[in-house]
Structure 1
């Protein structure tokens, strides 16, 4: 059986569409564990949940005082009875065969612990260009290798697209509370533990973008939070794959890039120099390290390079440049933005 975890707070407007899409699934053997996280909208969300629960016994509702997304998900995991856990948000909509396709994939691939899917963007592509660009990038990370290598740039797995084996939280820990995105930290931790992750190459969820989405309003989901939480995981990964450990060269000498990259220092990484294309920076010493022209990067036999430039599209350009110089993704360079 599949357990769908659906945390809900003040979501009466979008909740009926989300529930209809779940209750219309072609897979019959599943439950929805809806966690009402202290909704205070005059009983509107509670009324929707209770009306649907009366109609279909597959919906189980947990009413809790408001404790936040991590507390709600933890309560849902404790109550779930399924062999696999699917995530869903109250403002998104599933394809009718989503659960069937993902459950069948896990059944057929016992080596895979988590499977995601592509997602269609349900917001305004002009007003939310950043979110749309992120989803386009995430949809492109569609193989276990791409997920593993892309995880240090940003999250390649939108949270409501995933289904994972119910045993994983017990083995490697579940959602953790802290000043960071709870899903991204979970993927980093599970990948570090060796959990293989895959993605179905079809859009089985519409990822909507309402103004109140937590990733828009909560500081745990801003760019700096992502960089803080991934620093330790990235440093440990570099220790495993970098033949020149602990030394790296970082692409990007701007102040925001340096500030983010320098979080690696607390985890034992040594930044030998900055690589940059700005002639005003080249030859200077910034943060105690020289700035070297990107064109003068030593060969891969002499260094490991970590591109940290965050501007959209820059990492792909840098990856092509480094590949032309003989660098190999995951072996002699690894993007971190």
Structure 2
């Protein structure tokens, strides 16, 4: 069966992408063949589409680390033709043909059953970025963070992870402080639930300090690097910060004082290789108690022709909120 896929090819050390027709026989081996209705746009997708070999080792390649659709064929008894399913993480869209193809074939161990409380389009409004935000909030709560203990800072608040984190934390009753370098988006962040907006400079001014006045109970950091270093000394006793991004750098220089004198925690968040049961539990929460009424207001749906432009904006740090790709829309 033929289908359309967004293929990135390398020629003369340059990378170019276009929508091309492929056949199911072109797909890798796997247990479940899925007709993809929706995908989403994440920073990792933009890296893969631009030829970043730290994400994708070999080209030509079809990016798209998220996919939601319907089972066409399955050799695993856990899935039947017609089942509505979701895939995110593992190797999808990295070195395995991803969700920017109308068909994917993947191992059954990667496939989640879509809960009744969420549509395929809603699942891709969450996407990997949204699920990373949910995993971050879940880690904070497991570390003892609660709405009555003080404000929670969210960095990169206008981005995919940050915007969902702001909305989810607000829904759960937290006082959210949003950090953003885009002053024109302050009203939008407040509409998502942010109680206060701070600039990067407000937080980064304390980078390099061993200890500072405790301001935040916790933080969801999406950028890494110096930002983590600046947040740690500003955490309250028994506070915590989750980190899931590296746009600002992969190294963190920090004093041990906040860990020893205030008992703070630095919590890494992985949304790629966690057990399928844990991913299914988060998806079920997104369809239930953590369902976000504001999700559609922060999501821009695009068609196939619009994908290259959005990927370009994402790689430049110009994206706002979530982007959902309708694979059946030109």
TM-score category, normalised to shorter length? 0.3 to 0.5
Which structure features the higher share of strand residues?
Answer: 2
- TM-score, reference length from structure 1: 0.33
State the structure with more CA Rg.
Answer: 1
Which structure features the higher share of helix residues?
Answer: 1
